[in-house]
Amino acid sequence: MGRIALTRKRSATAVAMLGCLASLLVATGGSAQAAPSHHGKDPLASGCNIGARTLSSARLLATDGQDYGYIEMRYSPSCQTQWIRVKSTISNCDGSQNDCLQEISVRRPSGADGGAASFTDYRRGPTAFGRMVYTPNTRACGTAAVDLGTRHAYPSGVPGREICG
């Protein structure tokens, strides 16, 4: 084989290898997505509540219209998560009674951030947090119900009504 033929063969091999590498970079996107390490975790224990902001909120009302606090959809830019926070205005809601049990639910539809996910938590006390869902690219929705002993309070007074981020 002559020197020119060998050089052409090496050049063709190098071009083919570069083409393969370029296609791998395009297929993988070239950069890693943030890991959902806080998905399903408590926002307080993880520190994700620090610097979080409220995306939406609603009053917690009994069916007779009495106001018992509010529900918020919270978002942490640093953790890329959303969760529900409930703040009760009941003065004797100290967590030691059977009333004031708060059912908190959050859900994420399937999409860019993975498969559908949902969490339901039961908490006591005047302020309660549900677990987080990883949502850098997706809107989460959630709801809450506060057991008042003889009745319940819901977002805008409607059982099952959700707020979304």
164 contacts 140 by C-beta, under 8 angstroms:
yes
Q: What is this structure's pTM?
A: 0.75
State residue 101's pLDDT score: 83
Structure confidence by residue, pLDDT tens digits, 21-40: 343 333 333 323 444 899 99
Residue 75, exposed/middle/buried by CB under 10 A (0-12, 13-18, 19+)?
Answer: buried
Q: How far is CA 17 from CA 26, 27, 107, 129, in A?
A: 14, 15, 45, 52
- Separation of alpha carbons 118 and 103, rounded Å: 13
Q: What is the pLDDT of residue 20?
A: 41
Q: Sign of the CA dihedral 18, 20, 26, 32?
A: negative
Highest mean pLDDT among 12-21, 34-43, 50-59, 98-107: 50-59
Separation CA 92–CA 110 (nearest Å): 40
Residues 155 and 165: their CA atoms lie apart, in Å, by 15
Summarised one tens digit per residue, pLDDT across range 55-84 is 999 999 998 899 999 999 999 999 999 999
Residue 79 CA to chain centroid, in angstroms? 9
Higher pLDDT among residues 83 and 15, named by residue: 83
Give the span between the Cα atoms of 49 and 84, in whole angstroms. 11
Task: Answer yes or no: is pLDDT of 48 > 60.
Answer: yes
DSSP 8-class letter at 6:
H
More confident residue, 5 or 136: 136
**pLDDT tens for each residue of 114-135:** 999 999 999 988 889 999 999 9
